[in-house]
Chains A and B, each alone.
Chain A
Amino acid sequence: MWQPLLLIILISPVQAQAAPKAAQSTCIRCHTDLGNPFDAPVKASAQDIHFQNGLSCNSCHGGDPTRDKPEEAMNPAKGFVRQPARKQVVTLCASCHSNPDYMRKYNPQARVDQYSEYLTSVHGKKLQTGDPNVAICIDCHGHHGILAAKNPNSSVYAPNVAATCGRCHSDPQRMKSYGIPTDQQELYTKSVHGEALMKNRDLAAPTCNSCHGNHGATPPGVDSVANVCGQCHVMQWDLFNQSPHRKAFEDRQLKGCVTCHQNHEVVQPSDAMLGAEDSATCPICHEKGSAGYAAAQEMKSAIVGLQGRLNSSSQLLEGAQRAGMEVSRPIYQLAEGRDRLVLARVQIHRFNPAMLKKTIMEGDSIAGASEQSGMQALADLAYRRKGLAVSAVILLCMIGLLLLKIRRLKSS
């Protein structure tokens, strides 16, 4: 337990050293003069968040950059470390990032629990047992040229996270010894979450760390999957907890939400998932003739029925609108009916047809009223057309009579 703290204390002098101005730094001067590939860290440092905040090479590597001679600047006696060991890197980063007093200077709201979280992660635990292949800070954040997480070019910017994790987790060679699948990134990219985040750039959509944690990355256990999904899908989670499925799933060691929705490949939910058809998930557990099977059929029929009635009302109103009738109010009311359909689809997670019935009836009532308005609008339209025909005949007759009168006046 004290080992990490000891490491922090050992390395902390490095952090305490004042960073010299870049122009005075021997490291920068020499590495620039040496050219490719030695100037790569210098080039990368231009956009590095640490450099931008006044830190420099010696903040991590130690040494004395105020000395002109390389052997003096890179003197191990002055704490110079050419390349910190992987295990050492974590504590080196933590020496600043776990120090609230130090971090407060840069960002009073900055988290300082990354290191302690990391130690609880699968990565952290394996590192402690001497596995050098697991991810450490620099594997995700980079080393020279580290960008803030909110920078769209950062490897830990939300839409880039899946690719960053995938660098290791999609590598079969690297994952071979751990015995875990390597298709997570591919599945996630195809999922509704991946599409929302990476294709539609919806930053509210989850990525790997949203469910697994980032610094404390761990696969959610059987009992915690629903909790993880429930962070965003609150209503579904709440209803599921009240449903008979909660206990049934626990008894059968089924992983909550992912049992029906998958984990990495969460597809766009549709009504096809409900009911007794081959595309539905219900018959996987509920046999034909069972109460669960009947309930699934009943809920599916209620949902599909409401959707059909809403669609037919919508088509009727759109037809009236195309004909120039003012039906914006019933169209607006129909949106409330669609809200009921969305609510009903959420309430399915209670798996109680009786509860669903109330919402379906409300939606039906709105769809019925909208349909009535649409039919009334079409009836009004027909009435207008008839009125137009009658008045046009009268007006044309009057024009004809006037023309006759004009002709008679001419001849007389």
Chain B
Amino acid sequence: MMARLLKWGDWLEERLGWRAAQELIEHKEVPVHRHTIWYYFGGMTLFLFAIQVCTGIMLLLYYRPSAETAFESVQFIMTEVQFGWLIRSIHSWAANLMIGAAFVHMFSALFLRSFRRPRELTWVTGAFLLFLSLCFGFSGYLLPWNKLAFFATKVGTDIAGVVPLVGPFMLRFLRGGDEVTGATLTRFFGFHVAILPAIATVFLSVHLYLVQKHGMSSPPFVDPDKAPKMKFIPDFLMRDLVGWLAAVTVLAVLAAIFPWELGEKADPFAPAPAGIKPEWYFVYMFQTLKYIPSKIFGMDGEILGIMSFGLLGLLLVITPFISSEPRRGRRGLLPIVGILVLVYIIVLSALAYRT
């Protein structure tokens, strides 16, 4: 048996040269220090993304993307398809956990200054992957075509519509018309299963290639030459596996005890339900727009708020190029800004859920 496998391995080696990759992985090492735990969140995000892809493909077998059939098809998945409830609940819960893991990964990379030369592009592609995850969340939220999703999408696309110059175009582009209709649903389905995955595949490939090329970054306070290291395979991968199995356990508990609700079918003529909120990862922005006065220095407050978030996104992408090395013994401005942003997100989200 082993001899036959080796023979197949030789056959593949002759054609693909795959042992070079094996060699590379075998020699890959991970620095060991008191912040090593944060390295696992990149792998965790990737694992949850893989779950999304697998469960998403399974849902595609039954989902029908039109205003007349979307809700009923999800209802069918939840009630009639064998383990359909489990697949849908895992897809929905894993999406939230993935975005949570991506945020942790991003903030840990920020605080550990992992974007330093030569890893600037690793950071930039990572930031774009985070934005793409949010787009996946926004487009996927509408697909069950229920009341909450319908009105959340209406509010969300309304916000996009007030962006100066491109707002009206963006609104029509996202909705496929002036209002949220079946055309919006079909369009969002296209974004969710074709356009976003295609873009994400490109960014993810580049991101993983760069991680492999430059290796794991050591924080500034750790000397990469003196710090102990562990082998990626099997030491780091085994610890990764523990985390992934723990994630699967959490997903199973969430799916079985708190199955993702379907709600009521969207009715464009019904009044908006009271207290509608977007998904938790957009709530702090939504709450900010609620607090912003209608006029600030003669400018429209809502437009100013949206522009500020746009600017924040841009600053996040170009962080490696605008952040200077702190002087020896100093922490620099970046951790303070990072903590302030984190506290702002947590406080605004808590305020939104409290009301």
Contacts and interface: CB of A to CB of B under 8 A. Distances in A.
B144 to A, nearest CB: 11
A396 interface: yes
Interface string B78-116: 110000011000000000000000000000000000000
Nearest to A383: B256
Contacts of B248: 395
A402 B238 contact: yes
Interface residues of B, number: 24
Interface string B246-264: 1011001100111101101
Contact of B253 (A325, A326, A392, A398): A392
Interface in B4-49: none
A399 interface: yes
A409 B235 CA distance: 8
Contacts of B79: 326, 329
Contacts of B252: 388, 391-392, 395
A370 to B, nearest CB: 14
Interface residues of A, number: 20
A387 B256 CA distance: 9
A26 to B, nearest CB: 53
A324 interface: yes
Interface string A286-327: 000000000000000000000000000000000000001110
Contact of A398 (B75, B235, B245, B264): B245
- The interface residues of chain A, by DSSP majority, are classed as helix
A391 B235 CA distance: 25
Contacts of B246: 399
A404 to B, nearest CB: 10
A405 B245 CA distance: 15
Interface string A392-412: 100110110011011001000
A324 B249 contact: no
Contacts of A406: 235, 238-239, 242
Interface string B261-272: 110100000000
A133 interface: no
A409 B249 CA distance: 24
Nearest to B261: A324
Which 10 A/B pairs are nearest by Cβ-Cβ distance? A388-B256, A326-B78, A324-B259, A395-B249, A384-B256, A399-B245, A402-B242, A406-B238, A326-B79, A395-B245
Interface of B: 75, 78-79, 85-86, 234-235, 238-239, 241-242, 245-246, 248-249, 252-253, 256-259, 261-262, 264
Interface of A: 324-326, 328-329, 384-385, 387-388, 391-392, 395-396, 398-399, 402-403, 405-406, 409
14 contacts: A328-B262, A328-B264, A388-B252, A388-B256, A392-B249, A392-B253, A395-B252, A399-B242, A399-B245, A399-B249, A406-B235, A406-B242, A409-B234, A409-B235
